[in-house]
A = this chain, B = another copy of it.
Amino acid sequence: MPGGRPNVLFIMTDQMRADCMSCAGHPVVRTPHLDELAGDGVLFRRAYVQSAVCGPSRMCFYTGRYPHANRSPWNEVPLPADEKTIGHYFGDAGYRAALCGKTHYTPDPLDDPLAQPAEGIRRATLAGLETWELNDGRGEGWLAHLRSAGYPDEVVRDPFSVDAPPDADRDHAAYPTRFRREDSDTAFMTDRAMAFMADAAGPPGPPGSPGSPWFLHLSYFKPHLPIVAPYPYNALYDPADSPAPNRSPEELARPHPFHVPFRIERKGVEYDDEAVWRQRRATYYGLITEIDDHLGRLFRFMKDRGLWEDTLIIFTSDHGEYVGDHWMFEKELFYDEAYNVPFIVRDPRSCADGTRGAVMDDFVESLDVLPTCMDVCGLGGPGGPGGPGGPDAPAVLQGRSLAPLLRGERPDDWRTEVHADWDFRFYWTPKKLGIPPERCRGWMVRDDRFKYWHFNGMPDVLFDLEADPGELRNVAGDPRYAGAVRDLRVRLMDWRMSNEDVSRVAWTYGRRPGFGRNPFVA
């Protein structure tokens, strides 16, 4: 680690639940290489994303700021040009910062009207990140690979199609893809990540040769739907072993007004069929083990090259997936299955040796990734990332560095709750319910004891997680919980007040050493 600046490998899966790793105690899915990473780092079991939709969740990770602050609360909503991302921070600090995989970033038309063609949305590369390889599902690099590997045009055109009988389940989860395991998007993106590491190392030389450190965002498209996997992952797990969904008849008997329309809109109703949830869960687990197998290849490559000891590794997902829990599919509403994500950090520095293999239950938000990477890599001035008073002053970042926890220190003032913010104007459900766009917003707060959802003008939702850890019984209307609701509402307001955007406030504040004569001093 020349100059004390580690490389950074920021690995993200898409739509992977926190519980789907063997190190997290899952009864079925096997993830030996993620377990190995957790054994050499820290597994955070209570890590939450601030949005369970791909685009806005990623923008929170990239900017270290809540959706209301970075103003990109849904897919394809451009990230404003003045929002500095992890790519900018690391690029500016002399890192080679690159993207390998999915990003879901949309450039800002107010900054550059030509960045977006009139006919539609173009997915560009993430601001500040070199596009080493881009794959928002059907990336050109991967399709070119399939073509050159000799697959017929129909496979290249529609790589997730399968050979299935006409009466098969619509999702075809039991059937293998027509590409082989060694040609999957997961395999290809892993190969490309290794190629990047080789490229970044420069000409052959002894380990630790001088050169720029690198920041690689390796971002897999899976286990995002379609839930189809190459052989043998489609058949790796027996549907008979799939654990039953976390749901109760009471949820549908007295549902929140949003529950049923969202489960219709997102096709959760298909999961009412036991054969469907059994098979889709099994294949979903197979896709996760596929990723784990390739991470094993990647970790072996890094160890062989002497990169393991030089690289900060963070593994997480942009959000979870219900696969039938709460009678839902995908990730709408504010249940833990959608917002709690896998989160493993391996800090290569010796100061983190004391916590290797630890499992922590401190609350983590997606916003913490950026300040953690900056802290571990020594970016930023003495006052924090970006230096005091400038537009990049710490006040702009709304997350917190996990580095103290990685060193075994537990700050007294660590957060006691996590938050999420959901703009749902782009769905059909509010149109069906007659809710105007400006009212399509919900906030969530979750602490040790409670989870509270507030929707503008709609009934509240409260779960007592001590009595009901599965979030199956809404007690918001129970008078015994009136005090809890009152308290949680104030905390939501105070959270929002404390997290207004201060990008320009910080600039002004940093330039005012005094505010004139202090009337409290004689």
Binds B, one of A17-25, A70-78, A173-181: A70-78
Binds B, one of A240-248, A299-307, A496-504: A496-504
Most buried by B among A120, A265, A511: A511
Cβ < 8 Å to B, chain A residues 412-465: 423, 425-428, 432, 437-439, 441-443, 454, 456-457
Q: Is the CB of A509 within 8 A of B110?
A: no
The one of B78, B111, B428, B508 that contacts A519, using a Cβ cutoff of 8 Å: B428
Closest to A106 in B: B508
Q: Is A361 an interface residue (CB 8 A)?
A: no
What residues of B have a CB within 8 angstroms of the CB of A110 in the complex? 82, 391, 503-504, 507
Q: Is A144 an interface residue (CB 8 A)?
A: no
The one of B267, B391, B505 that contacts A73, using a Cβ cutoff of 8 Å: B505
The one of B72, B428, B500, B509 that contacts A504, using a Cβ cutoff of 8 Å: B72
Q: Is the CB of B68 within 8 A of A515?
A: no
The one of B81, B391, B509 that contacts A426, using a Cβ cutoff of 8 Å: B509
What residues of B have a CB within 8 angstroms of the CB of A80 in the complex? 82, 503-504
Closest to A520 in B: B432
The one of B106, B496, B498 that contacts A496, using a Cβ cutoff of 8 Å: B496
Q: Is A395 an interface residue (CB 8 A)?
A: yes
22 contacts between A and B (CB under 8 A): A68-B501, A71-B501, A71-B503, A73-B505, A79-B504, A80-B82, A80-B504, A82-B82, A82-B111, A120-B511, A121-B508, A261-B520, A264-B519, A395-B437, A423-B505, A426-B515, A428-B515, A438-B498, A439-B494, A441-B497, A441-B500, A456-B494
What residues of B have a CB within 8 angstroms of the CB of A427 in the complex? 515
Closest to A84 in B: B110
Q: Is the CB of A109 within 8 A of B426?
A: no
The 7 tightest CB contacts between A and B, nearest first, are A441-B497, A456-B497, A456-B494, A78-B504, A77-B508, A438-B498, A77-B504
Closest to A500 in B: B68
What residues of B have a CB within 8 angstroms of the CB of A168 in the complex? none
Interface residues of A (CB under 8 A from B): 68, 71-74, 76-82, 106, 108-111, 120-121, 261, 264-265, 267, 391, 395, 423, 425-428, 432, 437-439, 441-443, 454, 456-457, 486, 489-490, 492-494, 496-505, 507-509, 511-512, 515, 518-520
Expressed in whole angstroms, the Cα–Cα distance for A111 and B111 within the complex equals 10
Q: Is the CB of B511 within 8 A of A121?
A: yes
Q: Is the CB of A77 within 8 A of B493?
A: no
Expressed in whole angstroms, the Cα–Cα distance for A511 and B109 within the complex equals 12
The one of B108, B265, B502, B511 that contacts A520, using a Cβ cutoff of 8 Å: B265
Q: A425-B505, A489-B489, A493-B493 given. 5 additional CB < 8 A pairs?
A: A77-B507, A423-B505, A428-B519, A443-B493, A457-B494
What residues of B have a CB within 8 angstroms of the CB of A497 in the complex? 439, 441-443, 456
Beyond A454-B493, A507-B78, is A520–B428 a contact (Cβ under 8 Å)? yes
Q: Is the CB of A498 within 8 A of B395?
A: no
Q: Is the CB of A438 within 8 A of B493?
A: no
A388 CB to nearest chain B CB (Å): 12
Closest to A109 in B: B507
What residues of B have a CB within 8 angstroms of the CB of A507 in the complex? 77-78, 109-110
Expressed in whole angstroms, the Cα–Cα distance for A14 and B500 within the complex equals 27
What residues of B have a CB within 8 angstroms of the CB of A509 in the complex? 425-426, 437
What residues of B have a CB within 8 angstroms of the CB of A498 in the complex? 438-439, 441, 456
Q: Is the CB of A493 within 8 A of B494?
A: no
